[in-house]
Chain A
């Protein structure tokens, strides 16, 4: 049987339409129920509406106290140590007051305050510009407010890095694996070409544990559900003077800095 070009095109078109149509039908009938598909909620998972962190710098007595916190996070999450700053990856780090709270420069501020260090990390904004920018939903906001990343979906366009007003995101410019001193089995390593950042240790929260940095901070980092009126973070934020980075941008950062320090809550 021979067919002419017109017939061939018509039949090819029909087969294509059938294929696309039936794929929609199949996905339409897919079971939406997570439990039915064999996935269940982690037994010790700590539920929250909005995870938040309060940074109380008065609790950090020395540089070593801060390094300990950074080390705990970076070790756990297989954050590589690159020799040059160009390729640097950081989830939590320290910067001085003057640069952390850039914008409101006060020239009469005491030199000591100006250069006193602050812990900085992803702010897990309530209105995250990075999530809005991402063209593949590789970065997304969880129901508990955590801004998370899917390293397998990220195409490495770095639109999120341009969108983040806090410089919280790092990109794997090089293969990170050779630069991990000691591989942790608690968290996956990454491939080159994807973006990463702090995840508020959602993998630990699922096991009923506090984030690694919080655990090592001697009370300098306080973590909890801002939506819960009885949580420590909520009590501090509602009764003490706290500041946030670039609040004027309307992203509603979830990391608060306790000013003046002292006993909280």
Chain B
């Protein structure tokens, strides 16, 4: 089926070339990092994880969000999602691959990555994260490819794939839970040391992931003859999922704020005070965080009122608001502020370097290229069937 990605319109090839160009630039930037060490990034002894690990965290959520289509469709026989499920699975695959790439580019000794398998350490959460991420990639590849292949032949999906589909549901939850455990089990990092971390991760994932998927559906509808939501209201159903997930996410965040500030234990509220109000003359995250707060509430409002939710223009603004708010929260601040203030209660700030940003953009471009290829295949199969 992959051959379908090799023919396309002029617009398709311009888009692919653009992505390849960004990847090439990022590759050069990565070579610079590979040869000169992680010193070319903004990370330091005090803030030892930055943009890369934050993107990893955000994208695990995007990958897990495919379950928001798979679960209603396969467990509740929610037929509306019939045409969209494959797009969810084909978004999960590039998202997991991007997660893995962000881990690799973050390593100081990437050539030794196999040590994780050669010297398996079941006491390390990273060991389990490796297992669940690899497993999730495999599951989605098998399920996505098999169901689409069967559809192409006009046959029902083979029976053996059903149990794998059911397995993908708890597995999706597991990838984000284990990712939260990477952080939530560390003593001395008060922003992360929270029982609600995994729940909040899932809530924010189920808001941002489907929101991205809806925007992708709009693009698919625009650039192809395939309509993922041919007047059945699939998108509006997904919008409701995004809305409630985002409300849950904001609610969980407020729970964190209450515990930290009402208990009045200085260590617990310190990172939050740094994020929202700045500390010791350092304010770099403050305007960014308040932007996220405004966008989160704006996004929820846009998705709550029927008039703005039904209108495509305002719906897109709402979805973008939610995606950006979640990205700021998880794809930037949560990881960085976990290290601020440091173990000596000193504020040492972090800002990514250009080299780091170029590598990050390249990994995203690889992801977008994979989305493009997989979606092209899926759309071509569907267009073929329609004719």
Contact = CB atoms under 8 A, between A and B. Distances in A.
Interface in B37-78: 37-39, 41, 43-46, 48-49
Interface in B82-115: 103, 106-110, 112-113, 115
Given A85-B45, A175-B37, A165 B188 contact: yes
Contacts, number: 147
Interface residues of B, number: 45
Interface string A124-152: 00000101111111100000000000000
Contact of A155 (B112, B182, B343): B112
A167 B46 contact: yes
Interface in A159-205: 159, 161-167, 170-175, 191-195
Contacts of A156: 38, 107-110, 112
A67 interface: no
Contacts of A157: 103, 106-108, 126
A135 B127 contact: yes
Contacts of A100: 344
B108 A136 contact: no
Nearest 5 pairs of A and B residues by beta carbon: A156-B108, A165-B188, A193-B108, A167-B343, A173-B39
A173 B127 contact: no
B45 A88 contact: yes
A138 B112 CA distance: 11
Nearest to A132: B123
A193 B188 contact: no
B9 interface: no
A129 B124 CA distance: 10
Interface in B151-188: 182-183, 186-188
A242 to B, nearest CB: 20
Nearest to B267: A103
Contacts of B236: none
A166 to B, nearest CB: 6
Interface in B111-161: 112-113, 115-116, 118-119, 121, 123-127, 130
Interface in A191-247: 191-195, 246
Given A87-B44, A100-B344, A251-B187, A173 B37 contact: yes
A165 B187 contact: yes
Given A156-B109, A167-B344, A174 B121 contact: no
A193 B113 CA distance: 12
A88 B344 CA distance: 15
